[in-house]
Amino acid sequence: MSENPTNNLSIAVLGGGSWATALVKMFLENTEDVHWYMRSQESIDYLLEHGHNPKYLSGVQFDVNRLDLTADINRAVGQADIVVMAIPSAFLQKELDQLTSSMEDKWVFSAIKGIVPQSGLIVGEHLHKEYGLPLDQIGVITGPCHAEEVALERLSFLTIACTDQEKAAYLADQISSHYLKTKLSDDIVGTEYAAMLKNIYAIAAGMGHGLGYGDNYQSVLMSNAIREMKRFIALVHKMKRNINHTAYLGDLLVTGYSVFSRNRMFGNMIGKGYTVKSAMMEMNMVAEGYYAVESAFQLIKNKGKEPKKAFPIISSVYQVLYDHKNPKKVFKKLSDVLD
């Protein structure tokens, strides 16, 4: 692949869910065609016949002549210059295990908001350490942005992070449109951790709502969450950043408050008394924050910090989801330490 970002580079999107579907829609605003890997051949066949994803964002109609749909991840990666990953983090490694096509000359952008369970790393770090991808070939696509609002072409915002700002600018051009505005960042680690953490805090917000707490409580919870996020990111990657930027605070707020947020929905169900298994079965979608909180909790301990004292919101979500403690009792204790 040419290193000149002005060339017309081919793009592959990996994933068949709502966010992958939204990304394909965004790229097709500016690019002639997109390579799209979906694991389900049944979904591909349906999309080819009906022009829309049968399970996610079914209102988005595609010109299938502009899509190279494939259930072969190696074909999609092999034909692309830029690979955009939108597979839930819990299932990413299983998909990567099938990969024999080299990524060494690719630009790889993660649109995944979670931690890879097998390594305990965010996706960018996982690709760098486990697959040897240079950091300047890795980028992050992060919010605040809901797939459902992209489908409706409501004004939305994305941050494109990469240490190579020319690569970030190129991808931003390919994804921008009349309903999608972009900003650039060089904080690939911080923005990706923020995207992971906001899902945990959204689960906390949902639990609070399910338990009957009102808007006053939610505002205090979100105020504490952004400060906790700042401490967490500084713990894992110190650099100068403005935590009030949309990639951090903005993404936290939209995920914590929006009715489209699956993590908030998941937390709400837990607060109402659902088990983890029953909540996931009823949602029929992946709540990334469920997997992320275990990794975040362990990372805090590995850094020599006491989760309950240093990161009480993360600790509270962990206690409910993994220690199976009573949400009502846990959140009563949490409310005593919020300020």
Active site residues: 198
231 is in an annotated binding site: no
Helix (H) or strand (E) holding 147: helix 147-151
> Facing residues of 110 across strands?
85, 140
The total number of residues written for the chain in this structure: 339
Q: What share of the chain is helix, strand, coil (3-state, %, to 5)?
A: 55, 15, 35
113 is in an annotated binding site: yes
Tokens of 221: 């919870």
| Pairwise CA distance, residues 137 & 148, whole Å | 29
Q: Identify the three-state secondary structure at position 32.
A: coil
Closest CA to 83 of 62, 64, 102: 102
| Pairwise CA distance, residues 64 & 67, whole Å | 5
168 is in an annotated binding site: no
CB 37 within 8 A of CB 15: yes
Q: Give the angle subtended at the CA of 332 by the CAs of 264 and 204, to the nearest 5°.
A: 15
φ, ψ of residue 40 in degrees (nearest 5): -90, 115
326 is in an annotated binding site: no
**Angle, in degrees to the nearest 10, between helices 18-27 and 165-175:** 90
- The residue written with tokens 């029953």 in the block is 278
8 is in an annotated binding site: no
Residue 65: other Cβ atoms inside 10 A: 6
- The residue written with tokens 């979100």 in the block is 222
Q: Identify the three-state secondary structure at position 316.
A: helix
Residues tagged in the binding site annotation for substrate: 113, 262-263
Residues tagged in the binding site annotation: 91, 113, 147, 262-263
Residues tagged in the binding site annotation for NAD(+): 91, 147, 262
